[in-house]
A and B are shown apart, each in its own frame.
Chain A
Amino acid sequence: MFVDTVIEDKSLHKPAFLLGLSIAVLAFFFAFNFTNTIFGEFLSPVIGNPQESGFFGRLVVSFVLAIIFVLNLLLISFAKLKIQILIVWIELFFLFLAFAYSFDLELAYIFIGEPSKIWLMISKGLFTTIYISAVSIAIATAIAIVGAIAKLSNNGFAYAIASFYTSLFRGLPLLLQIYLIYMGLPQLGFMIDAIPSGIAALSLCYGAYMTEIFRAGIQSIPKGQWEASRALGFKFGLILRKIILPQSIPIIVPPTGNQFIAMLKDSSLVSVLGIWELMFMAKKIGSKDFNNLEMLLTAAMIYWALTIILEIIQARIERKYQQKA
């Protein structure tokens, strides 16, 4: 992307804009009455009992909140870009924590028990989730390479099978595919366990999406590369392996990374088969003691941490290929 070299005035530093923004923010806080939240309690020296403070209390609370909000924006606007990003990240994270805190959770719950619940989640749930995702990703990648080649070939059978496959598996909800494989295959006489069915469903579904990504990546390589290779006497497989695929990898990597991240989270759907992955564990442990939210939040944080790690890896790989290109 090209960043323009001309610096525009920050709209936040124009008085008219600032005034308009302040009024809008004030209206927002006033509309969503915050008097009965923690903010009202903080201001009780001024407004007395929040419950009984009425219009006055509501106005004071929204006024104070609006000032804090706008001042915050204004202060951040003077910082350097990197600092701005960091501060906003931290603030949003604390807002998220405050949101979770408002659930009135018993956070100690996840650390008690022998072994502790969090350890169970990590040692069993996280392990199973990673195992299922990793195997599915490997299979999906293999399917995608074969599928993409089939879709690009002029072999009628190959094209028909590949396009039917992508159409079907992109056309059905993943949850439905999981049920169909788990309950459908035994009807044909193939007994299949929960984990293999889950892996099969995830691989087939994501294989279908990735087939399209790989096909587009291969097709984006200019025709001249094929012609030059053909003119040298290369055969199809050699061209693909040595000339086309190496050049399409930088194009394929970013969307494939997104698919990996999506799959990691979609692996939670196989919990319906009773597989002891993160989601299933969270529901099972939590519902036993009526501490559902604690466990769900724990699972949420683990998924989030995992995807952040994947995003970092993805960024590294992308950077590596960009340097070469």
Chain B
Amino acid sequence: MNASNETKSENPVISLCDVSKWYGDFQALKDINLEINLKEKIVICGPSGSGKSTLIRCLNRLEAHQEGKIHISGIELHETMKDVDIIRRDIGMVFQNFNLFPHLTVLENCMAGPNWVRGIDKKEAEKRAVAMLEQVKIPEQADKYPDQLSGGQQQRVAIARSLCMQPKVMLFDEPTSALDPEMVSEVLDTMVELANSGMTMICVTHEMGFARQVADRIIFMADGEIVEQNTPDEFFNNPKSDRTKTFLDQILI
């Protein structure tokens, strides 16, 4: 975000300190503590309803936490902050349902952020959009509308749209869960490439092959808590808690 943070790269880009969140009376996150460093790749998994989406949606403040502190690049996220939009520009997010803008072409989807938010002129934004579409390997779809594309293609456009903002961190919330099985790998390949390019990534996913391949750390959540976090090797070969074992048994069948 600012120069002082760039230099102190040992500082975490994202840090959560005792973060709790409630929906009404229901506590969805319980005292979450977590630090994520630049270029780290994190995979979050856990049973449905365990609070994975809630956690990553708190990181760009699509959801508000009620207790504890979240810092992004040293800036605290809180209720009255005026420039949450400035933080959001630096955090890309990819959703389960893509959420592309259906009335804009693929190219326009990718140009929207840089052009309207960052104020980059159209020509430059278009250049960047084309480059990103090439990176996700669908430059030839640039002039189509999202609903003319397959699910896998749409999700790759969504990734390109986020990348056009040149974010520091990318959040993925089950990016392959809404896809037909044969399209999962094309999206995962894109994500692996992105990981190899050095992007800081936080991915909620149940694709354990992907987790093994790219994750520096796997976080297992249940009932709004972080139950266990470890390197992929340790996590898969030597899970500590019973809940992790049960979960792995179910998912690795």
Interface residues of A (CB under 8 A from B): 222, 224-225, 227-228, 230-235, 238, 242-243, 246-247, 324
B93 is contacted by which of A225, A231, A234, A242 (Cβ under 8 Å)? A231
Inter-chain contact A225/B60, CB cutoff 8 Å: no
CB-based closest 5 A-B pairs: A228-B99, A233-B89, A224-B99, A231-B93, A233-B88
List 7 other contacts, CB 8 Å, given A227-B95, A231-B88: A231-B62, A231-B92, A232-B88, A232-B117, A232-B165, A233-B85, A233-B165
B161: which A residues are within 8 A, CB to CB?
232
B95: which A residues are within 8 A, CB to CB?
224, 227-228
CA distance A290 to B249 in the complex (A): 93
Q: How large is the interface on B (under 10, 10 to 19, 20 to 34, 35 or more residues)?
A: 20 to 34
A235: which B residues are within 8 A, CB to CB?
85
A246: which B residues are within 8 A, CB to CB?
103
Q: Which residues of B in the span 96-141 have a Cβ within 8 Å of any Cβ on A?
A: 97, 99-103, 112-113, 116-117
CA distance A232 to B104 in the complex (A): 15
B86 in contact (CB, < 8 A)? yes
CA distance A255 to B18 in the complex (A): 50
| CB contact under 8 A between A234 and B103, given known A224-B97, A227-B95 | no
Inter-chain contact B165/A247, CB cutoff 8 Å: no
Inter-chain contact A227/B99, CB cutoff 8 Å: yes
Chain A: minimal CB distance from B126 (Å): 17
A232: which B residues are within 8 A, CB to CB?
88-89, 112-113, 117, 161-162, 165
B112 is contacted by which of A227, A230, A242 (Cβ under 8 Å)? A242
Chain A: minimal CB distance from B57 (Å): 8
B204 in contact (CB, < 8 A)? no
Q: Which residues of B in the span 221-252 have a Cβ within 8 Å of any Cβ on A?
A: none
Inter-chain contact A233/B86, CB cutoff 8 Å: yes
Chain B: minimal CB distance from A268 (Å): 38
B116 is contacted by which of A225, A234, A324 (Cβ under 8 Å)? A234
Chain A: minimal CB distance from B59 (Å): 10
B91 in contact (CB, < 8 A)? yes
B92, B117, B165: most-surrounded residue (chain A CB, <10 A): B117
A247: which B residues are within 8 A, CB to CB?
101-103
A231: which B residues are within 8 A, CB to CB?
60, 62, 88, 91-93, 162
B162: which A residues are within 8 A, CB to CB?
231-232
Inter-chain contact A234/B117, CB cutoff 8 Å: yes
CA distance A222 to B99 in the complex (A): 9
B91: which A residues are within 8 A, CB to CB?
231
CA distance A230 to B89 in the complex (A): 9
CA distance A233 to B119 in the complex (A): 12
Chain B: minimal CB distance from A243 (Å): 6
B102: which A residues are within 8 A, CB to CB?
247
Chain B: minimal CB distance from A170 (Å): 31
CA distance A227 to B85 in the complex (A): 12
Chain A: minimal CB distance from B82 (Å): 11
Chain A: minimal CB distance from B118 (Å): 8
B86: which A residues are within 8 A, CB to CB?
233
B62 is contacted by which of A222, A230, A234, A243 (Cβ under 8 Å)? A230
Chain A: minimal CB distance from B108 (Å): 10
CA distance A247 to B85 in the complex (A): 23
B62, B91, B102: most-surrounded residue (chain A CB, <10 A): B102
Inter-chain contact B113/A227, CB cutoff 8 Å: no
CA distance A227 to B91 in the complex (A): 13
A227 is contacted by which of B62, B116, B165 (Cβ under 8 Å)? B62
CA distance A225 to B117 in the complex (A): 16
A227: which B residues are within 8 A, CB to CB?
62, 95, 99
CA distance A202 to B95 in the complex (A): 45
Chain A: minimal CB distance from B52 (Å): 16
Chain B: minimal CB distance from A269 (Å): 38
Residue of B nearest to A234 (CB): B117
A222: which B residues are within 8 A, CB to CB?
99
B101 is contacted by which of A225, A230, A233, A324 (Cβ under 8 Å)? A225
CA distance A191 to B37 in the complex (A): 69
Inter-chain contact B103/A233, CB cutoff 8 Å: no
B103: which A residues are within 8 A, CB to CB?
246-247, 324
B100: which A residues are within 8 A, CB to CB?
228
Chain A: minimal CB distance from B168 (Å): 13
